[in-house]
Structure formats: structure tokens, C-alpha cells
A and B are shown apart, each in its own frame.
Chain A
Amino acid sequence: MKAVVLAAGKGEGLFPFTQKEQKESITVLGKSVISYVLEGIKKAGIREAVVVVNENGKQVQESVNVDLSLEFVEQKRPGITGAVKDGMEKVGEDFLLAFGDVIADPEFYVSLMNIYAMGARAVFSLVPVYEGLQTYGLAKIVGDRLEVVKEGSTLALAGAYILPYGDFDDLLEYFSRISPMAKYFIWSGNWIDIGFPEDLINAVEMLLKSAKTIVSNNATVSKTALIGKGVIIEDGAVVEDYAVIKGPAYIGRDAYVGSYSLVRDYSSIEEKAVVGAYCEVAHSLIEPYAEIGSKSYVTYSVIGKGARLGASVITSNYPAVIVRGKVNKLGALISSGENISHGSVLPPNFKK
């Protein structure tokens, strides 16, 4: 079986961030979002996938480092339905459809195959959700099948399916049409659909929750630095004198944490990112090559690739407007390559 992976969405929930960077190529704990999907489908026994991309396809392609035979196809027909059809045409048989913006355990994709192998004509995955219900495609169990609905259920279509090759004008209508011969399951392992800034922050937390401390022998960690529980430090990373990586936290390849800085509570400093001295970083995702100036305070924030925060930048995070958050805190969303001047105090929900 082959897979069709969708990576051509606009990512409106993450605007303006995703106007510069395709959502699927955002790095989380050293891997792009789409890489989690591709690793999952690989674990499910799939060797070939068609990735449907938009004009930012190159970003997606460059962000992938998974041993699979991949064909990148630029979307021609509009909407999700168009994307699925563009991909499906390339495979021409039953296929695994995966949304490229989901971070889930590989077993999530294995579950699909386990059900398909037992003779199901189609397989749907569902996951229970409780915040921002209107932002998910929902399905309801009625009798022995699923109905796609707008409300009246808390079961979200979980972004991975096995579908028969077919003719349809609307994907959700196709789901409804095949549901009498489909099987479904409710996934309760790790799963986050990346749609909003808080999803990225929650994804870092989800992935670090069960992390054990692993410090690479090729990292340079000062003897006076403190490393707490659930801290991963990759090759080439530098942690300077008196820095406290309290964790759970991820310090990527060749990343830098300056003296006296505190990195705590589900933060990820990705590859070659720099956190200056005397900073505090919590509940944040600092993308590769980003720089955080000295004495900055960054919480509940996402800082894009190569973005630069000057010295003494403060991100306020409360009270914020959240679509899917567990807590009503959200700091700044800074797009790739943007600069924030020295001494800025950014309000909650700040976006640039």
C-alpha cells in the first residue's frame, strides 16, 4: 500500500507565521512535523508515499529526513478534496491518507493497518477532543457507523485513514458514503493536530512528558551548569556556566544556552538556536537558528527560524485568547526571519 500525505494547507490558524514557513516543515524536537507522520507510516509498513505540497513544497521536501520513497506533487485542484484527488491519482488503489500536520505515536498509523489487514474496506481514526471543537472535523457514532457532523460529538477525525480509490466531489461526503463499509477506532495515545500556536507548545510538552535525561557526549555542558530531569541535549550543543536546564527541555544540535539562563518546563531550543545569557525560557518552541537576546523572558511562545529577539525582550502571556489551549496563556508568535527590537515588551497573543 502507498500513502498520500497532505502538506499543502495554508495554515491559517498559524498566520502570519505560516505565510513564511509551511506548517509541515516546522521543527519540533529536532524533526519537522511531517517527519513524524512519515516515520509513523513507515512503521506501519508503508514504503512509498506521495506528498501533496503547495508552492512551499521545497521547504517541506528539505525538512524531511526519513528513509521512504517519496514523490512530491504540487496541488492543482482546490481545497482538501483537490489535494486528496491529486495524490490519489498517483497511487491508483486503496491508500493510506495522512494529514501532514499531525504529531502522533507511530502506533497510531500501525492501528490503521492492523484493522485494514482484517478485511475492512476503509478505516477511520478518531480522537476525543474538548477544546476548540469547531476547528476539527467531527464524527458521530450512529448505529454501527460514523456520520460526519458539525456538532453533537467530541470525536474528531484524527487525520489518518485508509480509503478505497474512488470518485468524489467532496472528501467529507466521500467519508459519509464509505462509512457503512468502514471500521473505526478511538486513539488514546499521543496525538496533536498542529493548527494553532498553542498546538506547537502542547506538542513540545506531549513529546517531552515521557522524556528521560540524555546528554550527548559530544555536547559541551559546563561543570557549573545544572541539568534537571527530562532533558535531552544533542550533539554539539553548548550550555554555558551556571545555566540551569531544569527541564523537561530539548536542546538541539549545536544550540547554545548562555550563562545564568534558565530553560524550564517543556521548552525546546532547536538546532543552532541561541539563547543569550540571563534569559528565562519556558513552554516555548525556539526554532533553528533563532536568537534570543540576553536578559529576555520568553514563555508560551513560538519563535520562528532565524528570527531574532533583541536583548531584554519580554513576552507577556496572560490573559490570552486561546482556541485549543489547556491554559489561557499564550505569548508571542514570531515568524521566521523577523526581528524584535531591544527592550520590547510584547503583549499576550502578539504576532509578527
Chain B
Amino acid sequence: MCGIIGILSKDPSLPLATITYECLTRLEYRGYDSVGVAALGEKGIEVRKAKGSVEEFAKKYNVFNMRGEVFLGHTRWATHGQPTDYNAHPHLDCSGSIAVIHNGTIRNFVELKEELISLGHKFKSETDTEVIPHLVEEFKKRGMDTFTAFKTAISSLKGTYAVLAVVKGEKRIYFAKNFNPLVIGLGEKAIFISSDIPSFLPYTKTIVAVQNGDVGYVSENQIYIENNGVAVDVRERVHQVDWDASSASKEGYEHFMLKEIYESPEAVMDTIYGMDSDRTVEEVVKRLEESKRVIVVAAGTSYHAGLYFSMLLQRYGYTSISVVASEFYNVKTNPDDTVIAISQSGETLDVILAIRRFKEYGSLVVSLTNVIESAVARESDFKLYTRAGPEIGVAATKTFTSQLGALVYLWAKLVGEKVNLEKVGEVIRGSLNLSGEARKVGEELSKKENAYYLGRGLGVPLAMEGALKIKEIAYIHAEAYPAGESKHGPIALVSKGFPVVFVNTGELFEELQSNVQEMKARGAVTFGISVNRKLNTDREILLNVEDERLNPFAVAPIIQLIAYYASVSRGLNPDRPRNLAKTVTVE
């Protein structure tokens, strides 16, 4: 995800740089690792761009003194190429007279880039986006007018995009959309074209909807759009935003958390494809094979994903220990150990401190983060990534499921299991289709102050994550145990009406069933999240999964939805749980 904004001024007195800055701050939720602005004036195009936040960037590069009649602004979430100054958008062609910003992924950029290089084009970044200005330049060189060149460039792209381009000497913004969001705002003094409506809402409430397959341009007195070569009647696309569009970035959902849970299928599949095309994975597998022990270090939700991975390895004879990051000092690693450090943000201080210590001991460190070139990644020997995109809800959801995706992928490669991970998306969707059931369990739990989450085997880390989620956002005191352990203490608390949630991944089924009976005998209200076979709890969600190795992908969305609905029915805001921050950068 990235945020893009283009502004074309109709009034020379308009402080365009300041307006661009304001729009960018409102788009920053879509990506916050680097920023860039292009100003198109009489003399040509000036680009300023850098790694960092919008505020830091604007101050450091004094964006406010940029002058021009057309501005492009971009806030980036890196997917191809690290967040660096040179990878930040806008990107230019060889001559510096075409500037492009882009949100999306160009799947065939490698081939396009090779071809362009063979034609003599010089590239300055590692991004997929940079092929676009060079393509336009190339087609213009061959005698096409700019719009034809732009259209031809767009038609050679495979992938998803919302693209904006400006060309020296033309007071226009060219645009194209395929899946990534784009919308035009018609102001009295300026025309906007952006990733979302709220970014320009203070300036205009008249919008023009842009649809998939649209390509066109805006100029001072014209909006031109065509789709499939046919000109669109723009008047049909004009709407007055007569409603409160301030929450439009949630795309219809009441909370980012729910939206993000529903984004899980794509997030996990992108992660798996990312692992598939990442050569680092092979290298990591080789190192893991040679390691004496695999030490997994992480905090919170990431720790549960790590624990799941650790257990998978142990079952195949590997010695693997999972360590809570803040407790790293309890573990002495050795040079023949490999450390897997997991952190969504890649900025978790406890994880960074653990890495530093383990590196001192001479161990190899492999990181798994959701942010390219994050602090954790930078301090590691090998960098692996989940590709879940930015997560705004404080509680980790799609990023947890993506971590599981990356780790199951790694495990399968390491132990030589043939797992059809192509199916993961459908497994997750299968659970999302059962969200009514999860809502019911969530509503029931919302009336309770305490709960147990019990599981066996690989169900244990998932139970732990379920308990954490409901603590975090619904403020229900929940504890997770291996179900067999419940007799050794926890059961003392169980009395009439005490809720117990069983995570039943099918392992040790009979034993788990007798745990259910024990709890029922003491008056507990029992809930089940069961894969393929019912435990006969009082209320049970049955998930059908063909390949049991994909079980966690079915269970993860359900435990998240249960917590979400428990929170919502308590009247809480799950996006902003009290006392919690998305990224923990303190000890």
C-alpha cells in the first residue's frame, strides 16, 4: 500500500506545496517509510524525496518552498526495494522530464526493466515503478504523443496499480487505475487526484469516480477518461460527497481491525509468493539445516507465531527453543545456533536487544519482519519478510496469519514436506465465511470477565494467541494452557458459567474431548474451534480443512474475529486498546 496525491492548480496564488504536504499527512496511514514530492513548473520538474515520515521529510527538505503549477506527492510502503532516498517516489525518466508515482505492484517489471536497459535506459532505483517513466520516455521517443505513450506504457504493465505521471511542458496529470484506489476531486481552485477522498476533503466535495481499467488525464479545463479505448462520459462519474466521508479510508468497515482480518487471504498469499521468489529463503534453509539449534525470539503475537514454528521443528527432530524477547538474557546461544527474530514492525526494542546479544555469542540471525529494512532486519544476517502491508489496528491480525504463512513455508522447505500453500487463501476465506459463528462466541464471551483457552499440540500456541487477542482488545482476562495441564491447577477456578474455549486442531482428539467433559462437569460453558471433527462443546465452530498442515490458517481468523466481536459488543474500540501501542520501542 502507498498513498498518492496529484494536485493541479487553477489559481497561481494557491500554496500548492503546503496543500500537498497536508494531503500527504492525511495519506500517511497508507505507508510511512518514505516520502517524495515532485513540482512541475515552467522550468521543468523538481523532485525532493527521502526516507522517513512526512513531517521529518517536509522539514528537512523544506518542501514548502517548492514552486510549480502541478504537484505530485507520494508516501511509500516498500514492497520492491528498500526504503531509501533513491527508492522513494517520484521516479524520473533518463531526461528528468517525466515524473511518476505509483501505488501497487508491477509483476512483470523485471522483464520490462531488462528490455529498457538494453535500449539504453539508465535506472536509479530498485523499484518496480521506475519502469513506467522510462516506458513513457521510450514510446515518446518513438514518435507517440504523450497520452498515447502513457497509454501504451500502461498497457504493457502486468499487475495492480494506481499511477500518476507529469511531463515537462504539459500542465496535465496523467493517470491510470487497476485495482489500487484512485479518485479525482474537482476543486474550484485546484484539481486533486488521490488514493482516497479524505485526503482532499477540506478542499472539495465534488469527486469523479475512477474505475478499474481507466486511463486518462486531468488538465485545467478538462477531465478525460477512457476505458478499453472508449471515451467515458465523465459527467456520469461526478458525485457530490454529501455525506461524512471522514471514515472512507476504512472502506466500509467500522474498524481497521475487521478490515485487516478480511485482508488476510491476500496478505498471506502475498507473503507466500514473496517467500517463493526470495532467494534468501534457500540460503536460510541451508543455514538452518546446518544449525545445532534454532532459537526463535519474539514478543507478543509474533512470539506465538514463533512458538508454532518452534513446535513444528521439534517434531522433526530439530532442537528449537522459543524465547520471549524481553527474557532473552536467560538464553546463551552458540556460534552453531541460528536465531530467528520475528517482529511485525521490526522496531521492537526487546527483539533488537536480544539480537545484539545473540550476535555477540556468534550466532547467525535471520529476521522476519513486515517492514522492509526495519531496525530488526538491518541488524540481521538474513532478512525475510511478510508482505501483509501496513496494519493500522493495534492488535496484530493479518500480520500474525502472514507470519504463520512465512514460517510454515520455511518449515516445509526445511523438512522437505510438500505442502500446497496455494490453498491457504481459500482456507482463510472459509473461516471468514463463518464469522457469524465467531460473532456469537465473541458476544457470549463479552459478558464474562475471565476465560480459559485450551488446546493440545499445535493448538496451544493458537490458544495462547486467542487469549492474548481477547485480553488486548476486549479486556477480558484470559489465560491459555495446554489442555492436559488444566488439571494441574487452573481447573480450580472453573465453576458454573466459567467460559472455556477449546482450540481443537484434531490432535489428541479423545484426550481433548475428556478435557471438555471435565470442564462441563464443573459447570463451565464450553466453546470449540474445531478443525474437521466436533468436540461437542456447548457452542462449536467447525472448520473444514483438507490438509491438516493448513489448520492454523483456518483457526487464526476465527480467534481474531471472536476477540473483535467481544470487544465491539462491549462497546469498545478494538482499533485503539487502552495502554497499548502498535510498536513497543521501550524495554
Could you list which residues of chain A lie within 8 angstroms of chain B, going by C-beta atoms?
1, 43-47, 93, 107, 110-121, 123, 125, 128-131, 133, 140-143, 152-156, 181, 183-189, 210
Chain A: CB-nearest residue to B205 = A45
B285 within 8 A of A: no
- Residues of A close to B435: CB separation below 8 A: 128, 154-155, 186
* B180 CB to nearest A CB, Å: 10
Decide: A153 near B433, CB < 8 A? Known: A45-B240, A45-B241, A116-B209.
yes
Evaluate contact between B433 and A140: CB separation under 8 angstroms: yes
Q: Is the CB of A185 within 8 A of B251?
A: yes
Q: Is the CB of B242 within 8 A of A117?
A: no
Q: What does the 1/0 interface line of B236-268 toward A look like (CB < 8 Å)?
A: 100111111101100111110011001000000
**B1 to chain A: closest CB distance in Å?**
14
Nearest chain B CB to A233's CB is how many angstroms away? 23
Looking at A93, A143, A154, the one whose CB has the most chain B CB atoms below 10 A away is: A154
Given A111-B252, A133-B436, is A118 in contact with B183 using a C-beta cutoff of 8 Å?
yes
Show 10 A/B contacts (Cβ-Cβ < 8 Å), sorted by A: A1-B239, A45-B242, A110-B243, A113-B243, A117-B207, A117-B241, A118-B251, A123-B252, A131-B440, A155-B433
Q: Is B212 an interface residue (CB 8 A)?
A: yes
Closest 8 A/B residue pairs (Cβ):
A154-B436, A185-B252, A45-B242, A111-B252, A128-B436, A130-B440, A114-B248, A45-B243
Contacts of A117 in B (CB 8 A): 183, 197, 207, 209, 239, 241, 245, 248
A133 to B439, CA, bound (A): 14
Residue ID in chain A nearest B196 by CB atoms: A118
Q: Once the chains are docked, how many angstroms separate the CA of A121 from the CA of B435? A: 26
Contact: B565 with A188, CB < 8 Å?
yes
Per the bound structure, the CA–CA distance linking A156 and B435 in Å amounts to 10
State in angstroms the CA–CA spacing of A152 and B437 once bound together.
Answer: 12
How many angstroms between the C-alpha atoms of A47 and B239 in the bound complex?
A: 13
Contacts A111-B252, A118-B183, A154-B435 supplied; 7 other A-B pairs, CB < 8 Å: A45-B242, A110-B243, A117-B183, A119-B181, A121-B211, A130-B436, A130-B437
Question: Which A residues are in CB contact (< 8 Å) with B181?
Answer: 118-119
Judging by beta carbons under 8 Å apart, are A186 and B247 in contact? no
Residues of A within 8 A of B76 (CB): none
Dominant secondary structure at the B interface = mixed
Across the interface, name the chain B residue whose C-beta is closest to A112: B252
Q: What separation, in Å, do the CA atoms of A131 and B434 have in the docked complex?
A: 12
> Distance (Å) between the CB of A51 and the closest chain B CB?
20
CB distance from B46 to the nearest CB of A (A): 30
Contact between A187 and B252 (Cβ–Cβ < 8 Å)? Answer: yes
> In this complex, what residue of B is CB-closest to A113?
B243
Please state if A130 and B439 are interface contacts (CB–CB under 8 Å). Answer: yes
Cβ of A152: which chain B residues have Cβ within 8 Å of it? Answer: 433
The residue that A188 contacts in the complex, of B209, B243, B258, with Cβ under 8 A, is B258
Complexed CA–CA distance, A323 and B568 (Å): 24
Using Cβ atoms and an 8 Å threshold, which residues of chain A touch B255?
188
Tell me the bound Cα distance from A220 to B297 in angstroms: 67
A155 touches B571 (CB 8 A): no
Which A residues are in CB contact (< 8 Å) with B434?
153-154
The interface bits of chain B over 329-369 (1 if a CB of A lies within 8 angstroms of the residue's CB, else 0) are 00000000000000000000000000000000000000000
B212 CB contacts on chain A under 8 angstroms? 119, 181
Q: Quick one: closest B residue to A114, CB to CB? A: B248
A266 to B212 alpha-carbon distance, docked (Å): 47
Residue B51 lies at the interface, judged by CB distance under 8 Å to chain A: no
Closest chain-A Cβ to B459's Cβ sits at a distance in Å of 22
Residue of B nearest to A105 (CB): B254
CA distance A43 to B254 in the complex (A): 16
Contact between A110 and B244, CB atoms less than 8 A apart: yes
Bound together, the chains give a CA A93 to CA B211 distance in angstroms of 17
Q: Determine how close the nearest CB of chain A comes to the CB of B266; give it in whole angstroms.
A: 8
Q: How far is the CA of A156 from the CA of B437 in the complex (A)?
A: 12
Q: Determine if B177 is an interface residue (Cβ-Cβ < 8 Å).
A: yes
The answer to the question of B406 belonging to the interface, with a C-beta cut-off of 8 Å to chain A, is no
B534 at the interface (CB under 8 A from A): no
Contacts of B252 in A (CB 8 A): 111-112, 114-115, 123, 125, 183-187
Instruction: Kindly name the residue among B207, B209, B241 whose own CB sees the greatest number of chain A CB atoms within 10 A.
Output: B209
- Bound Cα distance A133, B440 (Å): 13
Chain B residues whose CB sits within 8 angstroms of the CB of A118 once the complex forms: 181-183, 196-197, 209-210, 248, 251
